[in-house]
Copies of this chain bind each other. A is one copy, B any other.
Amino acid sequence: MKILEVLRENGRISVSALAERVGISRANAYTRFEALRADGVIKRFTAEIDHVRTGLGITALIFVTVRQQMWRQFRAELARMPEVEYCAITTGQHDAMIQVRVADVAEVHTMVTDRLANIPAVKATETVFILDEVLRRPYVLPSDRDARSNRPARRTPQEAQGDVPLGKMRFVGAAEGRAALRKDD
């Protein structure tokens, strides 16, 4: 976990320096580093870039309602859209959320009306723009929880019982008629 904490901040650190920061020997660091990669805990190493500097300063979220039994087609079309950075299947009013990075707002319009709407699998879309990305962590680790300053290490659901019964919260369930929507549907 310590290794992952270091690599989150600096993915290009040498294994030797990593060993030092974690407090283990170099050979041990090599073994563990390799194990993390081989086990698939670490999937890959990448850079984080400034999208404005590369000319893709507009970010939008498109919430998509997918026609039943057309998920395979939807996935296939997704792979052909280079402007899509992220796509997740969600519960709630919509079926999927995709995040796109483009050069200008007109391209979002083109993307939605021209490309997405042409996919038979897409029943409806809803688009919002991202005005600011307030926080972006490469990833979250279980150890982050304990590192927090003023809060108990871990609260069980029991402990939280009857804590703050706030009526303004709303959990959105899965849309009806959508049972199997994972890879193998």
Contacts and interface: CB of A to CB of B under 8 A. Distances in A.
Given A11-B46, A53-B41, A140-B83, A89 B169 contact: no
B164 A118 contact: yes
Interface residues of A, number: 100
A42 to B, nearest CB: 5
A166 B41 contact: no
Given A129-B91, A131-B91, A166-B113, A50 B40 contact: yes
Tell me which of A126, A147, A151 has the highest count of chain B C-beta atoms within 10 A of its own C-beta.
A126
Interface string A77-109: 011101111111111110011101101001101
Given A54-B41, A113-B164, A86 B47 contact: no
Contacts of A165: 113
A21 to B, nearest CB: 14
A69 interface: no
Interface string A144-185: 110111010001010010011110111110000000011100
B110 A47 contact: no
Interface string A109-132: 110111011100001111111111
Given A54-B141, A133-B87, A113 B163 contact: yes
Contacts of A41: 49-50, 53-54
Interface of A: 1, 4, 7-12, 39-51, 53-56, 59, 61, 75, 78-80, 82-93, 96-98, 100-101, 103, 106-107, 109-110, 112-114, 116-118, 123-142, 144-145, 147-149, 151, 155, 157, 160, 163-166, 168-172, 181-183
Please provide the 10 A-B residue pairs with the shortest distance between their CB atoms, ordered closest to farther: A82-B144, A11-B45, A92-B128, A46-B138, A117-B166, A106-B157, A87-B135, A101-B140, A124-B168, A7-B47
